[in-house]
């Protein structure tokens, strides 16, 4: 029987990087279930080997579809990325976040439980459900606090973080109650190719390129722990292969930086690649009204995954951000494609005034 992996949300930023990376392992057949919201983009997956990959357009909340996919393709594992992922959107309209992140994960867990319960012993023991989550479930750190570890109590502050926390709790309960072999990864901020330009790094690269204002929330001193997306994908693959069912693993880049420093670095790299005589992109930095409930600092203690599974990040921020800036400047067609219609509407509404 072929080795089938069901990926949800595989047309999004991290999911598509993960699918492309895992396709290098020729033993996988990958099914990608994605609703193609504004954040899902099939162009990310162009050129993929069609004989070992199938795209299914659908919603994780559609239980009949999930049931049919599981029965037909008999996956040995599920990696669950599908989610509404942007904090600012969750503040403006939380409903979709509850529908997909909470109800959708619940629906997927229920159908997975039914499928897994009926597997024969060997396949049932080897099956894994890997849930991809975030550091935001732990809330916000003060400047001197130690980083979040796997035993830090949950304290989500945005509707997005609360919806992810709820999904993490459901996954935990399905292991504890039903024995479903789950794995949960909680990761810090990712950056790299294919990230939708509503998020800090691609937004700043494109605005800097176009000579537009660079909107920094509050005082710009909020801290995030940045991880290059390919490192995150490798961490997920490592947990999938070697993680212990029922465990959670924190993933991070050991790379805390205040937002203003990130934006200044991007300005300098765009200046280097597209010089403008006598002018620096730093002049475009504009401090704007803060995000409501804006978490001050995130930092991940990623020692467990290193100690138990041998994963640690490979990319440095200096190499990763350079590659990322070059990618956005060199992939105009991709950028043009995603920054039409609904994207323009979001930017106009969110940054007006």
Judged by the rule CB under 6 A, the positions of this chain that interact with ligand DAU are 85-87, 134-136, 188-189, 199-200, 203, 215-217, 222, 224, 259, 291, 298
Listing DSSP states for 51-101 in one string gives GGEEEEE--TT-HHHHHHHHHHH--SEEEE--S---HHHHHH-THHHIIII
Say which entry of ligand NAD, ligand DAU, none residue 106 contacts (CB below 5 to 8 A, set by partner kind).
none
Nearer to ligand NAD, 123 or 344 (CB): 344
**DSSP-based three-state secondary structure for 248:** strand
Say which entry of ligand NAD, ligand DAU, none residue 90 contacts (CB below 5 to 8 A, set by partner kind).
none
Q: Which residues bind ligand NAD (CB under 6 A)?
A: 8-9, 11-15, 33-37, 39-40, 59-61, 81-85, 100, 104, 132, 134, 164, 187, 189-190, 196
Residue 206 to residue 214: CA distance in whole angstroms: 9
User: Which of 120, 43, 122, 25 is closest to 79 using CA atoms?
Assistant: 25
Residue 4 to residue 7: CA distance in whole angstroms: 10
Q: What share of the chain is helix, strand, coil (3-state, %, to 5)?
A: 50, 20, 35
Q: CA dist 63 to 54, 107, 271, 293, Å? A: 19, 6, 50, 34
Least distance from ligand DAU to the Cβ atom of residue 261, Å: 11
Nearer to ligand NAD, 190 or 324 (CB): 190
Cβ-closest residue to ligand NAD?
12
Backbone angles phi, psi at 52, to 5 degrees: -125, 20
Contact 203, 195 (CB under 8 A): no
Output the six-digit token pair for 136: 């935001």
Say which entry of ligand DAU, ligand NAD, none residue 12 contacts (CB below 5 to 8 A, set by partner kind).
ligand NAD
Least distance from ligand NAD to the Cβ atom of residue 163, Å: 9
Residue 58 to residue 86: CA distance in whole angstroms: 20
Nearer to ligand NAD, 84 or 115 (CB): 84
Nearer to ligand DAU, 85 or 238 (CB): 85
> What amino acid positions are annotated as catalytic residues?
135-136, 160
Cβ-closest residue to ligand DAU?
134
Say which entry of ligand NAD, ligand DAU, none residue 203 contacts (CB below 5 to 8 A, set by partner kind).
ligand DAU
Least distance from ligand DAU to the Cβ atom of residue 68, Å: 29
What is the DSSP pairing of strand 256-258 with strand 223-228? antiparallel
Least distance from ligand DAU to the Cβ atom of residue 318, Å: 19
**DSSP-based three-state secondary structure for 193:** coil
Nearer to ligand NAD, 81 or 281 (CB): 81
Say which entry of ligand DAU, ligand NAD, none residue 36 contacts (CB below 5 to 8 A, set by partner kind).
ligand NAD
């Amino acid at each position: 029987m072929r080795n089938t992996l069901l990926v949800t949300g595989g047309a999004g930023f991290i999911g598509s990087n993960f699918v492309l990376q895992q396709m290098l392992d020729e033993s996988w057949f990958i099914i990608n279930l994605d609703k193609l919201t504004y954040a899902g983009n099939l162009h990310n997956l162009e050129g993929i080997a069609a004989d070992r990959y199938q795209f299914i357009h659908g919603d994780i909340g559609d239980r009949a579809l999930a049931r049919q996919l599981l029965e037909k393709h008999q996956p040995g594992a599920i990696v669950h990325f599908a989610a509404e992922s942007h904090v600012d959107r969750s503040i403006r309209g939380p409903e979709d976040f509850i529908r997909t992140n909470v109800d959708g994960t619940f629906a997927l867990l229920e159908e997975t439980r039914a499928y897994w319960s009926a597997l024969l012993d060997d396949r049932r023991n080897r099956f894994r459900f890997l849930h991809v989550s975030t550091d935001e479930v732990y809330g916000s750190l003060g400047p001197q606090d130690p980083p979040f570890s796997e035993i830090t109590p949950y304290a989500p502050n945005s509707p997005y973080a609360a919806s992810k926390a709820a999904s993490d709790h459901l996954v935990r309960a399905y292991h504890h109650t039903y024995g479903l072999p789950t794995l949960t990864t909680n990761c810090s901020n990712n950056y790299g190719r294919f990230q939708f330009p509503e998020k800090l790094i691609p937004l700043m690269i494109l605005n800097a390129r176009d000579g537009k204002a660079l909107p920094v929330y509050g005082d710009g001193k909020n801290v995030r722990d940045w991880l290059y997306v390919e490192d995150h994908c490798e961490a997920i693959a490592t947990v999938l292969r070697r993680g212990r069912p029922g465990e959670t693993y924190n993933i991070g880049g050991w790379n805390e930086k205040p937002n203003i420093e990130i934006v200044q670095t991007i300005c300098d790299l765009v200046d280097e690649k597209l010089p403008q005589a006598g002018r620096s992109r730093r002049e475009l930095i504009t401090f704007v009204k803060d995000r409501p409930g804006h978490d001050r600092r995130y930092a991940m203690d990623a020692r467990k995954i290193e100690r138990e599974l041998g994963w640690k990040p490979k990319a440095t921020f200096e190499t990763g951000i350079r590659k990322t800036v070059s990618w956005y400047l060199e992939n105009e067609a991709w950028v043009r494609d995603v920054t039409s219609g609904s994207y323009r509407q979001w930017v106009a509404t969110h940054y007006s005034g």
